[in-house]
Chains A and B, each alone.
Chain A
Amino acid sequence: MTDAIPSARKRRSFILFLLPKLEPVALPFGAIVVSLILFGIFCAFDGANPFAVFHSIYRGAFGSWFAFQSTLVRASPLMLCALGTAIPIRLGLIVIGNEGAFVIGGLCATIVGLKMPEASPVTVHIAMAATGLLAGGLWIMAVGALKHYRGVNETICSLLLNYIAIAILNQAVNTWIKDPSSLNKPSSFPIPDEQMLQPIGETSLHWGMIFGPVACLLAWFLLKGTTFGFKVRTIGANLRAAQIAGISVGPITLIACFLAGAGPGLAGMVEVAAIQGSANESLNAGYGYGGILVAFLARQNPIGCILISILLGGLLASGGMLQRNHQLPDATILVFQGIVFLTILFSESLYGRWKFFQERQT
């Protein structure tokens, strides 16, 4: 009896220690539940049974190994694209140029890939990946440079660069590198089959997918475990304090933005080298914008980005199933994404609201 009290107190203090840590998990989870309810009501208004719709989403995303493969194929570029928003936001910059970096990365990688038809596949892959990284990185680095040196609003600037990137892509595949045989859908010359990223075994997975989780883990380590990450977070928390502390804000901003753009740029390269086989307008398929959503849902945590990307990838993969089984238009998934995004943002305002989650004296 006498030692039961200390152990109970210990357990109690452990729970009290855990509660504040629980808040960042409980709130997004609650928000997703709320958004499921809202989306269910929305579906019900359209005459579809919400539970059947949820079941279809689950089946289309995770119901079978085959479905899960297509979920993963979509999740990997989302992870890379999410980094494009998740890293700069630690600097206090809201960059939404992921789509542009994705397109430019894919386009430049294609151009380099087409220049070396004789090289071995491994050489081609390395060259293409490096080009994609570099092109996407420089693209977003320009945003960071304009912000730091000219005070140009980074959100608007990166958004305009998205449109400019798409225009450059269209110009390129319609004139400079156009394959004359691609009539309906202007494309570049195709990358030879043997130089494509190969599938893993008998699945629809491919080797380029590894980049997604690896990049997220690296980004997580970089932000959490290195001096560089500490500097980045300091700048984001208080720019003035960072300057006074002698942190060279300019170079750090540029490097962080470069790393941010490298993610979507690499994703663009993978999209070309593993899925499309050539640069064409399918590059502009919305992975970049999806990445913004992922970054915000994961609260800019790179590890969270991996999980949320798989969820969102599943949601995207199940779009076709919704169309077939419930006659819901393909925009249904977009509505769902919007509702989730809005409720997650709403939940941000609830942090620290409930005493339940606060640290207490033991």
Chain B
Amino acid sequence: MSDSTTIGWLGVPLAILAGAVRGGTPFLFVSLGECLTEKSGKINLGLEGVLIMGAMSAYAISYKTGSPWVGVLVAGCAGAVLGFIHAWLAQRRNVNDIAVGIAMIIFGSGIAFFLGKPFIQPLAPQLPGIDFGGWTTNPALKAALRICPLFFLGVAAAFVMNWFFKSTRWGMFVRAVGDRPEAARAMGIGVWKVRTLSIMCGSFLAGIGGAYLSLFYPGSWTERVSGGQGFMAVALVIFARWNPVHCLWASLFFGGAQALGPALQSVGVNGYYYLFNASPYFFTLAVMIATCSSKRSLAGLPGALGSGT
């Protein structure tokens, strides 16, 4: 190899792997949030708005206080507040949860752009990365191996959530409410309370995903900070069959798919740059077409989802 900065075709799988971790983290948080929400029987399409709101509030708070971690926490709380509005509205009679989600996207992103206008210019302190690339001198490899601690937090959250659903009393409550609300009510579970808490916790996670976007990668606050990860989370959860650990693998896969376009461009394949950039959307669609069926419902699908109960 003549030049240490270029690693040629080897860079493509490397960039995809790095992208899987780096670009997959926001997917991971949002899809875990959506997974929790959907397990309780409601869809939250508004996580896109939550994500943007999280990105804005994390950046703003990090800039004001100088501590990115406070920013992450505030992003989560801002998400939970939006989640509460969604939970409250979506559980009213005759109100469609998907429509509420669309309204929340407009509202959440509107508030975020409104309040975030003064923070587009200044630079906020970023989240620290953990360097795993100390052994190499290749800058591309080094950058790829700089991983945000939030990623590990997300991985832990996926396994914890899996354990929560499988082995805890509260996890069973959530599943019961999502599958058979009437039966849950007969058991004495407060359906409204469980759903509201699930949606709020889910939105909290999505808010953290937003914080990752503005404080680590891409690491700035603009009005185009989100590439629709909030929307895709809904598709991703279907792909992952409502299983938190599968959400992790799916997020990594989507993160890798997102890195495909830029990786191919860096080695000179840029004829279809814009289409490659959209590959996560193509993948999602293809996966949905391949896995859905009009004959049977999917394994793991919460029974009350989309039924209006």
Taking beta carbons and an 8 Å cutoff, which residues of A are in contact with B?
46, 94, 96, 146, 148-153, 155-157, 159-161, 163-164, 166-168, 170-171, 174-175, 289, 292-293, 296, 329-339, 341-342, 345-346, 348-349, 351
The residues of A that contact B137 with a CB separation of less than 8 Å are none
Q: Which A-chain residue is minimally distant from B43 (CB atoms)?
A: A155
By the criterion CB–CB under 8 Å, are A341 and B107 in contact? Answer: yes
By the criterion CB–CB under 8 Å, are B93 and A349 in contact? Answer: yes
By the criterion CB–CB under 8 Å, are B114 and A164 in contact? Answer: no
CA–CA, A332 and B110, complex, Å:
7
Partner of B289, one of A150, A155, A166, A346: A150
CA–CA, A168 and B281, complex, Å:
12
- Known: A175-B271, A341-B103. Contact between A335 and B45, CB under 8 A? no
By the criterion CB–CB under 8 Å, are A342 and B117 in contact? Answer: no
- Known: A164-B278, A170-B274, A171-B274. Contact between A156 and B106, CB under 8 A? no
- Known: A331-B113, A346-B95, A348-B95. Contact between A338 and B238, CB under 8 A? no
By the criterion CB–CB under 8 Å, are A335 and B107 in contact? Answer: yes
By the criterion CB–CB under 8 Å, are A160 and B85 in contact? Answer: no
12 contacts between A and B (CB under 8 A): A155-B45, A156-B238, A160-B235, A161-B285, A163-B281, A293-B106, A331-B113, A331-B114, A334-B109, A335-B111, A337-B110, A342-B89
B41 to chain A, nearest CB (A): 15
Interchain Cβ contacts within 8 Å, total number: 134
By the criterion CB–CB under 8 Å, are B288 and A329 in contact? Answer: no
Residue among B108, B278, B284, B295 with the highest chain A CB neighbour number at 10 A: B278
CA–CA, A163 and B224, complex, Å:
14
Contact with A along B17-46 (1 / 0, CB 8 A): 000000000000000000000000000010
Partner of A338, one of B107, B274, B277, B284: B107
By the criterion CB–CB under 8 Å, are B110 and A338 in contact? Answer: yes
Interface of chain A: mostly helix, strand, loop or mixed: helix
Partner of A152, one of B85, B104, B228, B292: B292
For chain B, which range describes its interface: under 10, 10 to 19, 20 to 34, or 35 or more residues? 35 or more
Known: A153-B292, A296-B99. 13 other contacts (CB 8 A): A46-B114, A94-B98, A150-B292, A152-B292, A332-B110, A335-B114, A337-B106, A338-B107, A341-B106, A341-B107, A342-B85, A342-B100, A345-B89
- Known: A94-B96, A338-B106, A349-B95. Contact between A167 and B278, CB under 8 A? yes
By the criterion CB–CB under 8 Å, are A146 and B289 in contact? Answer: yes
Taking beta carbons and an 8 Å cutoff, which residues of B are in contact with A?
45, 85, 89, 92-96, 98-100, 102-104, 106-114, 117, 228, 231-232, 234-235, 238, 271-275, 277-278, 281-282, 284-285, 288-289, 292-295
B106 to chain A, nearest CB (A): 4
Partner of A329, one of B113, B278, B289, B295: B113
Q: Which B-chain residue is minimally distant from A163 (CB atoms)?
A: B281
The residues of B that contact A161 with a CB separation of less than 8 Å are 285
The 6 closest A-B pairs by CB, nearest first: A338-B107, A167-B278, A334-B110, A331-B113, A151-B294, A341-B103
Q: Which B-chain residue is minimally distant from A96 (CB atoms)?
A: B102
By the criterion CB–CB under 8 Å, are A153 and B92 in contact? Answer: no
Partner of A331, one of B103, B117, B274, B288: B117
CA–CA, A160 and B48, complex, Å:
13
CA–CA, A186 and B108, complex, Å:
30
The residues of A that contact B111 with a CB separation of less than 8 Å are 331, 335, 338
By the criterion CB–CB under 8 Å, are B294 and A149 in contact? Answer: yes
- Known: A156-B231, A349-B95. Contact between A329 and B107, CB under 8 A? no
A43 to chain B, nearest CB (A): 10
CA–CA, A159 and B110, complex, Å:
19
CA–CA, A165 and B43, complex, Å:
25
CA–CA, A335 and B112, complex, Å:
9
- Known: A338-B103, A348-B95. Contact between A148 and B294, CB under 8 A? yes
CA–CA, A311 and B234, complex, Å:
32
- Known: A331-B117, A341-B106. Contact between A164 and B274, CB under 8 A? no
By the criterion CB–CB under 8 Å, are B274 and A345 in contact? Answer: no
